[in-house]
Structure 1
Amino acid sequence: MIFLSMNLVDGDFCVRSHSGPLWGRHNPNTLNTTHPVTTLVLATLAADNNEWISDELSDLLGSSTNLHTAIYVVDNPLAPLHTPTNKGHESLAYLSYIIDFYSTLPEISIFLHGHPSAWHNNHLLNMSTSEMIRHLNREKVLREGYVNLRCHWSPGCPDHLHPQATAFDSTKTEELHIAATWTDLFPEEPLPPVLSQPCCSQFAVSATAIRRHPVEKYILFRDWILQTPLSDYITGRIFEYFWQYIFLSEAVYCPDPRICYCDGYGVCFEDPEGYAGYFELVMEVDQLKKELEAWARFREGKLGGRAVRDGDEGPDPVVEGGDAREGWLEGEIRGIEEELERRRGEAFEVGRDPLRRARAIEMARDLTMVDPKDGPPFWTAR
Structure 2
Amino acid sequence: MFSGSVPFVYTTERSPEFGLLVPPTLRGREASAYLSYVIEFYDHLPEYSIFVHAFPEQWHNDLFGPYTLNTLRNIRLQSVDAYGYVNLRCQHNPGCPTSVYPLSPSQADIENHDIRAYFSDAYQQIFNVTSDKVPGAIGNVCCGHCPRFEQCRCDVYGWCGPLPSGESLQAVIKPDPHDGSPT
TM-score of the two chains, using structure 2 as the length reference: 0.72
More strand by share: 1
- Taking the aligned partners of 1:194 and 1:109, their CA distance within structure 2 comes to 31
Which sections of structure 2, spanning at least 5 residues, go unmatched? 171-183
Which sections of structure 1, spanning at least 5 residues, go unmatched? 1-58, 202-243, 245-252, 275-358, 363-382
Q: Does residue 114 of structure 2 align to residue 169 of structure 1?
A: no
Q: Does residue 68 of structure 2 align to residue 129 of structure 1?
A: yes
Aligned to 2:159: 267
What pairs up with 1:230-269 in 2 under 5 angstroms?
A: 244=144, 253-269=145-161
Q: Does residue 58 of structure 2 align to residue 118 of structure 1?
A: yes
Work out which of the residue numbers 101, 121, 126 in structure 1 matches 2:41: 101
Residue 161 of structure 1 contacts residue 196 of structure 1 at CA under 8 Å; is this kept in 2?
Answer: yes
Matching residue's letter, 2:123: W
Cα shift readout 1:138-167 (whole Å, capped 9, x = no counterpart): 22122212222111111100122233x1x2
How many angstroms does 1:185 deviate by?
4.0
Aligned to 2:31: 91
1:121 alignment partner, SS class? coil
Residue 262 of structure 1 contacts residue 360 of structure 1 at CA under 8 Å; is this kept in 2?
Answer: no
Aligned to 1:68: 6
How many angstroms does 1:273 deviate by?
3.8
Identical residues among aligned pairs (%) = 34
Residue 258 of structure 1 contacts residue 272 of structure 1 at CA under 8 Å; is this kept in 2?
Answer: no
Q: Does residue 168 of structure 2 align to residue 360 of structure 1?
A: yes
More helix by share: 1
Task: Say if 1:109 and 1:269 are closer, same or farther in 2 by CA, change over 3 A.
Answer: same
Task: Say if 1:94 and 1:117 are closer, same or farther in 2 by CA, change over 3 A.
Answer: same
Aligned to 2:81: 142
Aligned length: 161
Structure number with greater Rg is: 1
How many angstroms does 1:179 deviate by?
2.7
Q: Does residue 46 of structure 2 align to residue 154 of structure 1?
A: no
Task: Say if 1:180 and 1:115 are closer, same or farther in 2 by CA, change over 3 A.
Answer: same
Aligned to 2:174: none
Task: Say if 1:100 and 1:108 are closer, same or farther in 2 by CA, change over 3 A.
Answer: same
- Taking the aligned partners of 2:24 and 2:17, their CA distance within structure 1 comes to 7
What pairs up with 1:1-382 in 2 under 5 angstroms?
A: 60-62=2-4, 67-75=5-13, 76=16, 78-79=18-19, 81-84=21-24, 86-122=26-62, 124-163=63-102, 165=103, 167-170=104-107, 173-187=114-128, 194-199=137-142, 201=143, 244=144, 253-273=145-165, 360-361=168-169
Matching residue's letter, 1:69: P
How many angstroms does 1:70 deviate by?
1.6
Matching residue's letter, 1:181: A
Task: Say if 1:79 and 1:176 are closer, same or farther in 2 by CA, change over 3 A.
Answer: same
Residue 158 of structure 1 contacts residue 197 of structure 1 at CA under 8 Å; is this kept in 2?
Answer: yes
How many angstroms does 1:186 deviate by?
4.6
- Taking the aligned partners of 1:143 and 1:92, their CA distance within structure 2 comes to 26
How many angstroms does 1:103 deviate by?
2.1
- Taking the aligned partners of 2:134 and 2:45, their CA distance within structure 1 comes to 30
